[in-house]
Each structure stands twice: as C-alpha cells, then as structure tokens.
C-alpha cells in the first residue's frame, strides 16, 4: 500500500512540475572548524499541507502589498532579476508539497501598466518556491521566484524528471 501511495505521489508531482516548476532539495550548509564542508538537510518541524502552502502565499502577498493593492516583487525572467509592480490575481490549484523542505505554488498576477509594445495589460504566471523558515512556517524563497508564462505563453517548460528546459521557438 505504501509503495502504491508513493508511486501515485510521484506521478502527481511530475504532472504538476510539467505545468509549473522543478523539484529541488533545500539543504543547510555548515562549516566545521576544519576546512571540509558538511551539508545537513533542514529538518522541518511538521508535515506541511496544501493549506499551509496557500496560507504562506496569502501571508506573503498581504505582507508585500501596499494600500493600493500593488505588490512590488523581484522575479527572474530569462535568468535576469527584474523588479515589477503587480496586482495579485490568484494561487493556482493544485499547489505542491514536494518534500518536507520544498513546496511550490504557481500564481497569477496582472501588470499595473500597459505593455509599451502591445498597449495591453500583461498577465504573469509566476512560480514561487517555499521552504520552512526558522520559525517552522513556510516562507517564500525570493531568489527562486520566476515568471513562467506571459499571457499564457510559456517561457520555459519541464521534462518528466522536473528539469527546466527551454521552449523550442522553431516549431
């Protein structure tokens, strides 16, 4: 029974990753007094759920949104960090708890200004990665926050193993 549940969980994660993001184990690195580095997994204080991920995302959005409903956020696009002013739309279902130290949420945001080229408001699908903080609550990993789609068009994709791959623009 346990093997069946593990296999089903793996299938769900691969499916989610193909539509949103990749898996990556989070570790804490400590350096002893000698010159060798020891990597120790971060031990979560509890087993996280979808509700925990959504709650963490709601708290993140509320904490970073100004009185006008604008969230100023740094995101990656094509490997470059960019600060944007956006309006939160929603967190996609499902979110994913990939491991005890790695969770994922795919979200939608709208730009606050029209695109200079198209004269339209862009919608961004932004991928957020979360990990347990020192207090045990899930927290967003800002440096991994990345634009996955613009107006529904993917900027990259994922293979079955969850590895990020470029979109073939020649097809």
Rounded CA-CA distance 103/54 in Å is 10
Q: Are 127 and 148 in contact (CB under 8 A)?
A: yes
Sequence-ordered alpha helix ranges (H) in 72-132? none
Is residue 154, in this structure, part of any structural domain at all?
yes
| Mean pLDDT, residues 137-156 | 94
Q: Are 57 and 129 in contact (CB under 8 A)?
A: no
Is residue 76, in this structure, part of any structural domain at all?
yes
Look at residue 60 and give its three-state secondary structure: helix
Mean pLDDT of the chain: 78
- Give the DSSP H/E element, type plus range, for residue 16: helix 2-19
- The CATH number of residue 88's host domain is 3.10.450
Can you give the pLDDT at residue 171?
A: 52
Is residue 121, in this structure, part of any structural domain at all?
yes
Q: Are 93 and 21 in contact (CB under 8 A)?
A: no
The range of the structural domain enclosing residue 145 comes to 2-22+45-166
| pLDDT tens, position by position, 31-52 | 343 444 444 444 555 789 999 9
Is residue 114, in this structure, part of any structural domain at all?
yes
Phi, psi of 8 (to 5 degrees): -65, -40
| pLDDT tens, position by position, 61-104 | 999 999 999 999 999 888 889 999 999 999 999 998 988 999 98
Is residue 39, in this structure, part of any structural domain at all?
no
**Residues near 37 by beta carbon (within 8 Å), at least 6 away in sequence:** 29, 30, 31
| pLDDT tens, position by position, 8-29 | 444 444 444 444 543 333 333 3
**Residues near 110 by beta carbon (within 8 Å), at least 6 away in sequence:** 86, 87, 89, 121, 122, 123, 124
Is residue 64, in this structure, part of any structural domain at all?
yes
Is residue 12, in this structure, part of any structural domain at all?
yes
Separation in Å, CA 135 to CA 32, 45, 154? 24, 9, 35
Is residue 32, in this structure, part of any structural domain at all?
no
**Residue indicated by tokens 């996280």:** 48
Number of domains in the chain: 1
């Amino acid at each position: 029974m346990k093997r069946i549940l593990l296999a089903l969980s793996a299938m769900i994660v691969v499916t989610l990753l193909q539509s949103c993001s990749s898996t990556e184990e989070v570790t804490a690195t400590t350096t002893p007094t000698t010159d060798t580095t020891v990597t120790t997994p971060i031990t979560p204080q509890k087993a996280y759920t979808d509700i925990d991920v959504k709650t963490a995302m709601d708290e993140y959005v509320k904490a970073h949104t100004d009185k006008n409903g604008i969230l100023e956020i740094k995101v990656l696009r094509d490997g470059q960090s960019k600060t944007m002013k956006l309006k939160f739309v929603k967190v996609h279902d499902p979110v994913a708890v990939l491991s005890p130290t790695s969770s994922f949420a795919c979200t939608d945001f709208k730009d606050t200004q029209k695109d200079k080229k198209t004269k339209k408001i862009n919608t961004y699908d932004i991928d957020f990665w979360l990990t347990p903080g020192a207090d045990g609550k899930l927290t967003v990993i800002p440096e991994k926050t990345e634009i996955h789609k613009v107006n529904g068009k993917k900027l990259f994709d994922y293979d079955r193993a969850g590895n990020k791959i470029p979109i073939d623009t020649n097809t």
